[in-house]
Amino acid sequence: MDNFINRIFSKEPSSADKAKDRLRLVLINDRTDLSAASLENLKDDLLEVLSRYIQIDPKSMKIDITQEGREQRLIADIPISGPISRKY
Amino acid sequence: MSAKVITITSGKGGVGKTTATANIGAALANMGQRVACIDADIGLRNLDVVLGLENRIVYDLVDAVEGRCRLNQAMIKDKHIPNLFLIPSAQTRDKTAVSPSDMIRLCDELRPDLDWIIVDSPAGIERGFKNAIAPADQVIVVTNPEVSAVRDADRIIGIVEAEEKGTPKLLINRLDPEMVKQNNMLSADDVVDLLAIHLLGIVPEDKEVLISTNQGTPISLNNKSLAGQAYQNIARRIMGEDVPLLDLDKGSGFFNKLSSVFGSGD
């Protein structure tokens, strides 16, 4: 019951939720040997390459590593904002 | 008979590997199986005191490996269960005294006379751990519902898989159902979700474990203790029985039920 009341009156996530969220990221980093910082670099590099072919809004580009069982998957969601303007 | 070798490991120290080894071994032996528990933590002998056999040691694992005694001379008969044996670790030697191939040879020599060989691995991922998993047919990873223990368990699972020992099974130790209910401890589901391996069993936090270790009697011989029952169930699952998880949720009053209706997430 305490827990129920806490949930209504506090916006703070519980310590168990925090632990799970932190662990999820740590395990992905450990398993892939890819830190959050190098994931950012990967994103920048990817953006640079893709921009040679298609027009992308960097802000709408989402790149994440997700966990499926014991396997990691790199998921890229990249909306195309238009054809690249070519010089004739 | 040809014994199966089960190695109990964890990565992080202090999560209950030795207690799990002693109790799974005792519970299997109590079901009539012939079991030997091997303490592979050379230099930090512990399984002997947990089983209450510290006064009976004459020869140890290193003596047997180096041929100073016959293997059966290093096997100490348990005082509670006649078909349970301990091969103690050496206290004064360093961990390089035994190699992974020594462990494989030793277990192969033991297999014909036993049903199960349970190897207690030292913490860490070095020589002692490599020794412990070398002879394993199956690996059990013990963890607590804490961030550091779960992280180390994940590393260990990765290494065991890389060593082609199959995917280990998970034992979650010292789970406090009350703290889980208050959302202040990772639940068993959370841990299984993160580690993504098969759950062999959950051992609840239970003061009786310390008391029985003080006395040198495995808790799994105590039917009244919840942890003891949990270990008995784990042994039955190892034997291939389909045993449901214990109901650890004793607080089933009206308010708790109401709270769980509103999704307290346990």
Long-range (24+ apart) CB contacts under 8 A made by A36-42 are A39/A63, A39/A65
Residue B203: phi and psi, rounded to 5, are -110, 115
Task: Pick A3's closest partner by Cβ from B185, B186, B259.
Answer: B259
What number is the average pLDDT over the span A40-63?
90
**DSSP of B32-92, one letter per residue?**
T--EEEEE--TTS--HHHHHT-GGG-SS-HHHHHTTSS-GGGS-EEPSS-TTEEEEPPPSS
Decide if pLDDT at B264 tops 70.
Answer: no
Number of structural domains found in chain B: 1
Q: How many CB atoms lie within 10 A of CB B63?
A: 20
Pairing label, strands B138-143, B4-9: parallel
pLDDT per residue over B18-59, tens digit each? 999 999 999 999 999 999 999 999 999 999 999 999 999 999
pLDDT per residue over B116-169, tens digit each? 999 999 999 999 999 999 999 999 999 999 999 999 999 999 999 999 999 999
pLDDT score recorded for residue A39: 86
What number is the average pLDDT over the span A50-62?
89
What the block records as the tokens of B84 is 């349970």
Interface test with A, best of B183, B191, B193, B259 (most A CBs within 10 A): B183
Give the CATH number, domain containing residue B155: 3.40.50.300
pLDDT score recorded for residue A10: 62
What number is the average pLDDT over the span A46-54?
91
Task: Pick A1's closest partner by Cβ from B158, B183, B258.
Answer: B258
Contact B186/A20, CB-based, under 8 Å?
yes
What the block records as the tokens of A68 is 């499926």
Residue B253 — pLDDT band, cuts 50, 70, 90?
very low
Asked if residue B266 is part of any domain, the answer here is: no
Helix axes A15-32 and B188-195, enclosed angle (nearest 10)? 20
Residue B249: phi and psi, rounded to 5, are -90, 95
Residue A45 — pLDDT band, cuts 50, 70, 90?
very high
pLDDT score recorded for residue A35: 83
Contact B151/A15, CB-based, under 8 Å?
no
Provide the β-strand partners of residue B245: none
Which pTM value belongs to this model?
A: 0.87
Q: How far apart are the first and last CA of chain A?
A: 70
Q: Does A4 touch chain B (CB under 8 A)?
A: yes
Residue of chain A with shortest Cα separation from B190: A20
**Distances from the Cα of B182 to the Cαs of A3, B206, B227, in angstroms?**
6, 18, 21
Does ipTM top 0.85?
no
Residue B4: phi and psi, rounded to 5, are -95, 140
What number is the average pLDDT over the span B84-110?
94
pLDDT score recorded for residue A7: 57
User: By residue range, what is the domain housing residue B97?
Assistant: 4-261
Decide if pLDDT at A88 tops 90.
Answer: no
Mean pLDDT, chain A, as a whole number?
A: 84
Decide if pLDDT at B229 tops 90.
Answer: yes
Q: Does A36 touch chain B (CB under 8 A)?
A: no
pLDDT score recorded for residue B106: 97
Q: Does A12 touch chain B (CB under 8 A)?
A: no
Query: DSSP letter at A52?
Result: T
Q: A71-75, B76-80, B97-101, B179-183: lowest mean pLDDT where?
A: A71-75
What number is the average pLDDT over the span B250-255?
47
* Strand order through the sheet with B199-204: B76-77, B84-87, B35-39, B116-120, B4-9, B138-143, B169-175, B199-204
pLDDT per residue over B170-228, tens digit each? 999 999 999 999 999 999 999 999 999 999 999 999 999 999 999 999 999 999 999 99
**Distances from the Cα of B244 to the Cαs of A70, A80, B59, B84, B235, in angstroms?**
24, 50, 40, 26, 13
CA B29 to CA B109: how far, in whole Å? 19
